[in-house]
Each structure stands twice: as structure tokens, then as C-alpha cells.
Structure 1
């Protein structure tokens, strides 16, 4: 048996509690802030895919709607498209409602072999870890002339490995729900593409069609995601797996995804540099 825990306490320190570094190769310039790094993805995606700020706002509205029904969410409030569109700017085109907040929190997971799980509590509804993968790429993508700023290679590679191990050949049809790393609204849209849950450049269109709603074809962030549930950084990865587990057990009160059998947890770190993908499923 293994116990995996994550914890974060940022509210006392705010941004000062986050680790900092300098830009590699320069002795003075600080590393860009998180909004400054991720707004690059938004502006490039606007150019490549024809997306607009309204598409980002729809992500925020959806996730606040989902988080409203989660009893432990940091922000249990619904917002309108107009509120998201008119919020103060943080790093153009990312406004206040495009950025996740700092949160305190903790999460814990217990893992064991299937033959031992039946001897513990909730033995009738434990879930299986079908695959887990990790991929690491450069933490300084702005120095890479081949970096596209419309995808995260770490996510693409981790997803491919996870799907292969779990024997998943059509993620869009086989994954019922996914908790993805929506540190910013643009990140959720790009994650959906990198995880093969929609075609390249089509995430905003699928979102508008309702594909990613909690009762849609593939529910994305039924917990409210980092945007609404919160992002206690050290515990977010465990928290995502916990949410998928509850959904597969049918015990996600007030936000249950219908007929959920296979779920995915996606966690991203750094400047889109490191990614883990975990796929969980009900017992065979």
C-alpha cells in the first residue's frame, strides 16, 4: 500500500510564496510571470486558429458553473460571459477570470494492488489505475525556434504513452471525463487538443457546442477545474485524481458525470514543460 499526499499553503505569502528564477542566459532579467508566459499561447492561438477572447471567456463561465456545485470549491459562484469579457486585464488577452487564483489545500490518495483492495472500505467501488505517464520538455520554450506556442509537447507525449498503456485508441470516444490543468482558460482549450479530445484548432468550437460540458460528450473539469475549484499547487495533481475517482465511483455529489467509466487526470508544470497523465477506470 502507498499513500500519496500533496499540500500547499500560499494564502499567507501570495506570489512571494512561489519559487522564482532568472531567465537562463541572462543575469538580470526575471523569468516571466505565469500570466505573461501563458498569454503567449493565447495570442498565438488567436492568430493560428482565429480564436477570440470570447472563446476564453466561455471556458471561465463553464468552469465557474461546474465549481458552483462542488462543496469544496474555492469559488462557488457562477459568472456571465459579460463578466468574464469585461474583467480587468492581467496579461493581454488574459483577464481576471482567465487566470486561476492562489489557494490553500491538500489531497491524499491510497494506492494498492487490486487483490488487496477488496479487503478495505469501499471495496465494492475501488477504481483501477490503467496507466500513468510523465513527459518533460524544456522549461524555456522561448529559446526554442521550433516551439509553436499552440501546443505543449510534454502533454502530447505523455498522452500518447498513457493511451498506449491503457489500450485506448480513440480518446474522444473512450474518455468520459477529464480533469485538465486549466491554470488559464487558454490552457484548457489547448490541453483538449493535445490530449486528442478534439481536432487541432477546434477546441473553442467544441466548447461552444457543449461537447465539454459536464453532460457533454467528454466532460472537462466537472469539479470546476483550477479556475473555480482552486489551484493549491502542491496538491492539485492528487486532487485531480481524487475527483476522477469520485466520478467513477458515482459519488461526485451534485456534479456527477452520467455513466462515467473511464476518466483522465492531466497535470502540467512549469512553462508547459512537464506533464503527467493518469487514466483511471472502473473494474473490468
Structure 2
């Protein structure tokens, strides 16, 4: 594994826009809003940042997508993309660049503008292929997780429907309290169970929405963090696992687990020295692109025993006032998913919660007793996936 990143780099400032249909904001305006807040929080000017990493899937093709609106002169700006983990990838590379000693200060920015742009959602570039790729939509691919899980662990269709609705209801309840969220209406389990199916057994409310948004973070070496803030957020672990896509061709793959997620979680916990994540984490922000995804993630991330996550969800273990709050900001379910920004948006919630800056009506139950947060991004589909896990903490 090499040398651990634990406690070598710190986040000293973050910014995050509201996510939603931003008719009055283009890519430039979103970038300026998120970076402006991050610069202010860190107390640095743009010229004091040595290097920049920009994560965007389809809102720009080079670092000039960032350097142009910021009017950056003589600075390296690297544009990265890694499916839905694009924002996390920008942060990962900025952190390792600082840890290497190449730069003293770096910024990671994630942005995506996908609404009112002539397209609905992201549209993949026509990359030539061998003709064997999947042809199903993302919703259809993830919809197969629910019946597979139900069959494996003996749930009826009605029980599974209730579990998935409970996940969506939790996240909508959290998002309703968050002014940065796109969807801010609480939804009851009964309302959600009554929704018609649109992909497999999933309704629209089992699927994350589409949004515009941006988020940013400034990072420095941990020993320098005190120069900027009394309450930095330390990087405890960064783990990225990229699968080889073989699950789609493997008759043994059963859709009840995402092996890449489980592997990235094990690596992150090893880096951070975490032995019992359920007992040590204060919160988790996970990639709830679809409600059955969050169900499986609870087990792959070792937040619930195999086959027990559905029970824990119904018990409220992952609610804001539960034993381990999951997606306290509302998740992709409430925010939507501007691909380049989502990973950094998750880290922004950890930034607020662990530093005690989240308002009282949505403060996690574990605040003050635990000091570690997990963020998780996945990109791709069951059987062909990449997964990112970070562990962040206060000193």
C-alpha cells in the first residue's frame, strides 16, 4: 500500500453552491461562487494557491475551464474526470500533490452544468467500442439490485418496497432542512410506496435527480494548517479502486454487493486505523444514486452486517438522530447529481458537521462524541464500477 496519507494533509477552507436548476448561473458563475467561498474560508487569495485541480465530466475539456473565470496567471490547472467520482478525484490528486512536497497549497474544484443546456442530464461522448457494452439505462441496471437482495435475504416485494422508501424518506427529510439542497420537501414512506415504477421496481423517487452545482476545497500540509484555521479537517484516508468490468460477464455475480466498494472501504479503514467503522465514524456521506445502492452500501462499507442493512434502515439506525447518521445533508437524493461536484459536496457536509457549523436542526447525533467522517463515491454500474472512499477527521 505504500506510505499512508493519514494526517499529512488538511482541508483549511471549503465552499459549496446550492445545487439545482441554476437558470442564472453558467459554469463560470458556479466556479466563482464555490471557489470564492473556499478562498474566504481559508483566508487565502487565488494567487497564494500554488496549483489547481478541476473535476468535471462534461462541462469543460481543459484546465482553462477554471483558469478563465478565475483569471489565473502562471498557475498549473489540471482537469480530471473519473465517472461519478470526478470531484473526489480532483481532491485526491490535490492532496497527494501537497503531500509529495511539490506544492504548499492546492485547490480542488468540482463543477457540472447539466440543466437548461440543450441536454437533459449527462450524455456520454460517442467513444468507439467493441459493441459488447451494456445497453440498459443506469436506473435499469441498479434496479436489478433490489430483487436480488430480496431473494438473497428473504424479503417480500412489499418489504423491499418499504425499505427503499424508508431510505428515500430519510434523505428527503434531511434535505428538507438544507438550504443548499435542490429538493426540500419531506416525503413519507406511504407516499413513496405509492409511486409508480419507472425502471424495474424503482419509482422516480428512488432515483437521484439532475442538477447544476459546484464545490471547492483548499488543502495544505497538516503542519501548516494552524496558520489558516483553528479547526482544519485532516485527511485520514483516500482509497480508490477501479474495477475491470468483469462482473457483467461473470455468471456468479449476484448484484447484492459491489466488490469495488468493499475493497475501497477496507483500504480506507486500514489507512485510517479504523477497526470498527460502525462504532468509530460520526457520519457517512454515501453515493445514493438509487435507493437500492444505499442499501447495499451499508453492508459493503461495513456499517451493517451482511443481510442486516434492511433491518437497520427500518430501525432508523442511519437517521439524523440515529446511531450513525448517513447522508445528513440529504444525499444525491435531495441534491441531485452534478457529476463533477458531488464528491466535494459530500466533503463539504463533513466540513460543516465535524466542525460544529451545521445548524442545530440538522446536526448529527454523534457530534461531540466522534470525530471521523466517511465520504463515498461510486462511478459506473453493478458489475463495472469504480469506488472512492475518504476518511476525514478533526485533529
Say whether the fold is shared (TM-score over 0.5): yes
Q: Structure 1 residue aligned with 2:379, among 258, 269, 277?
A: 269
Q: Which residue of 2 aligns with 1:26?
A: 131
Distance 2:333 2:262 in 1: 22
The 8 Å contact of residues 209 and 335 in structure 2, kept in 1 or not, is answered as no
What is the count of residue pairs matched by the alignment?
280
The alignment status of 1:278 with 2:382, answered yes or no, reads no
Q: Give the unaligned 5+ runs of structure 1.
A: none
Q: Which residue of 1 aligns with 2:346?
A: 240
RMSD of equivalent CA atoms: 1.8
Q: Which residue of 2 aligns with 1:229?
A: 335
Give, in angstroms, the shift of residue 114 of structure 1.
Answer: 1.5
Cα 1:207–1:3 shift into 2, 3 Å: same
Distance 1:33 1:46 in 2: 21
Cα 1:238–1:187 shift into 2, 3 Å: same
Q: Give the unaligned 5+ runs of structure 2.
A: 1-104
Give runs of aligned pairs for residues 1-284 of structure 1, distance below 5 A. Answer: 1-12=105-116, 13-15=118-120, 17-19=122-124, 25-26=130-131, 31-51=135-155, 52-120=160-228, 123-139=229-245, 141-253=247-359, 254-258=361-365, 259=367, 260-272=370-382, 273-283=385-395
- Show CA shifts across 1:220-248 (max 9, x none): 00000000122111110111111111111
The 8 Å contact of residues 211 and 335 in structure 2, kept in 1 or not, is answered as no
| Segment of structure 1 superposing worse, 5-14 or 238-247 | 5-14
- Show CA shifts across 1:98-119 (max 9, x none): 0011111011011111221111
| Greater C-alpha radius of gyration | 2
- Structure 1 residue runs of 4 or more that deviate by more than 4 Å after TM superposition: 20-25
Give, in angstroms, the shift of residue 23 of structure 1.
Answer: 11
SS at match of 1:200: coil
- Show CA shifts across 1:50-85 (max 9, x none): 341111010010000000011110000001112211
Distance 2:207 2:121 in 1: 17
SS at match of 1:134: strand
Give, in angstroms, the shift of residue 145 of structure 1.
Answer: 2.2
Give, in angstroms, the shift of residue 126 of structure 1.
Answer: 1.0
Give, in angstroms, the shift of residue 282 of structure 1.
Answer: 1.1
- Show CA shifts across 1:159-180 (max 9, x none): 0000001000001111110000
Distance 2:298 2:125 in 1: 29
Give, in angstroms, the shift of residue 136 of structure 1.
Answer: 1.0
